[in-house]
Amino acid sequence: MTALVIMSVLVGVLLVGSGVLVITIAERAADGRLGANGWAGIRTRATRSSDEAWRLAHQAARKPTALGGWLMAAAGVLSVPVAALFADGDQERFGIAWSLALLAVATPAVGAIVYGAVIANRVAARHRAEHGPA
């Protein structure tokens, strides 16, 4: 195995692990098992304004955020066969193919996660405006 293949497998494992982590956080914050904290979840001034704002925000963001996690995991899984296809060829071609394959899936993943955060912040801000901060 070349160093590039080993690197692509390691990046793939990291992406799959990151995707699973994003999915887990999205689910646990939405169902109330993960409350407002300083480490995980969508942490804006509005989402942290009350426990209810946190819960409502994460419920609203659950689907797009989880989708982003699934896409991250898919990018990680995709990196391995792409690496295998181009491992014996030209290193430049390998790098370009591998990068394009990851970008094709990772870009929508980041977009979905950011979209979820925007939705969450809007829901929490609306809740804060209607009910005031806790």
Whole-number Å distance between alpha carbons of 97 and 42: 33
pLDDT level of residue 93 (50, 70, 90 thresholds)? confident
Number of domains present in the structure of the chain: 1
pLDDT value of position 134: 66
DSSP assignment of 58-75: HHHHHHHHHHHHHHHHHH
* Residues 27-52, mean pLDDT to the nearest whole number: 94
What dihedral do alpha carbons 14, 73, 8, 1 form, nearest 10°?
100
pLDDT value of position 85: 74
pLDDT value of position 101: 77
Domain span at 49: 3-131
Give the range among 3-17, 32-46, 51-65, 67-81 with minimum mean pLDDT: 3-17
Predicted TM-score (pTM) of this structure: 0.86
**What mean pLDDT is reported for the chain?**
89
